């Protein structure tokens, strides 16, 4: 009923690097996006009244009915989505790569769509900088999955058909609500790669900023000095560690 919250599984899927596509390229991307995700829902037996979807331009928000078993989404649907992406990307110069944010909780329906903290969290997890960085660090992978801490603890941890808790890695991500724990998984890999440092997640055409020059503030410097006499060390920046090896008395 409209206005009353109902418990549901929220899936938000975004296309990585969609902002770099031209207006003529985006319709094809959107077509492939709906094709691979829709086929995965069909293959997992999630269809009809059990599946609500909203178009998000370069992504799709899906809310699944309470009777859909969460392990079916975390196991079968994700595996089918991964394989559909692999097949769709064969021979493509610009492969479709997706980020999927997953959460479970109360969702409110109205005439305009679906809302609630569960929806917000699923969307923000899939769009967070860490998700982009993890996928960028796995260039051959078409998909990164980001599960909320609650979803991992309640469902993923117990395992199940095609659900491998050991394949997930925990990170604390920065969201509007503040630091939030989340669990990352890249299908096809035993563990997701570690995201790069500052500037992680930069897409082609948006390179990460260069690292600071040695000796500048914030850069850890180790100085090795073979000491032959008394004197002063002069450095242009902060020195974290000085290793001194004495070579005799002062001269």
Tokens at residue 34, please?
Answer: 């709906």
pLDDT above 70 for 244: no
**φ, ψ for residue 107, nearest 5 deg:** -130, 135
Per-residue pLDDT, 242: 43
Query: Encoding tokens for residue 30?
Result: 């959107």
The predicted structure's pLDDT at residue 131: 98
Domain ranges of the chain: 5-185, 212-251
- Kindly give, in sequence order, each residue whose CB lies less than 8 Å from that of residue 92, ignoring residues fewer than 6 positions away: none
Enter the pTM of the model: 0.77
pLDDT digits (tens, 9 = 90+) for 67-120: 999 999 999 999 999 999 999 999 988 899 999 999 999 999 999 999 999 999
Residue 235 confidence (pLDDT) = 42
Closest residue by Cα to residue 105 from 2, 170, 11: 11
- pLDDT of 214 higher than 50: no
Dihedral sign from CA coordinates of 195, 146, 201, 30: positive
31-55 pLDDT, tens digit each: 999 999 999 999 999 999 999 999 9
CATH architecture of the domain with range 5-185:
2-Layer Sandwich (3.30)
Across residues 163-167, what is the average pLDDT? 97
The 3 state secondary structure assigned to 11-52 is: EEEEECCHHHCCCCCHHHHHHHHHHHHHHHHHHCCCCHHHEE
């Amino acid at each position: 009923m409209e206005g009353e919250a109902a418990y549901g599984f929220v899936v938000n899927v975004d296309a990585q690097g969609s902002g770099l596509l031209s207006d003529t390229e985006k319709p094809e991307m959107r077509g492939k996006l709906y094709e691979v995700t829709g086929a995965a829902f069909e293959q997992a037996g999630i269809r009809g009244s059990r599946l609500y979807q909203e178009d998000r331009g370069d992504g799709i928000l899906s809310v699944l009915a309470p009777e859909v078993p969460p392990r079916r989404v975390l196991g079968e649907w994700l595996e089918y989505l991964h394989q559909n992406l692999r097949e769709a990307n064969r021979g493509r110069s610009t492969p479709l790569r997706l980020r999927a944010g997953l959460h479970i909780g109360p969702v409110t329906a109205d005439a305009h769509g679906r809302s609630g903290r569960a929806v917000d969290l699923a969307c923000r997890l899939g769009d967070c900088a860490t998700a982009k960085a993890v996928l960028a660090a796995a260039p051959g992978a078409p998909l990164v999955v980001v599960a909320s801490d609650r979803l991992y603890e309640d469902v993923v941890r117990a395992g199940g058909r095609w659900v491998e808790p050991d394949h997930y890695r925990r990170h604390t991500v920065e969201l509007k609500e503040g630091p939030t724990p989340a669990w990352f998984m890249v299908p096809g890999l035993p563990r997701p790669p570690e995201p790069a440092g500052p500037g992680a997640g930069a897409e082609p055409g948006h390179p990460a900023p260069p690292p600071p020059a040695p000796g500048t503030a914030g850069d850890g410097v180790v100085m090795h000095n073979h000491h032959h006499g008394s004197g002063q060390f002069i450095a242009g920046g902060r020195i974290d560690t000085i290793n001194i090896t004495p070579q005799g008395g002062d001269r």
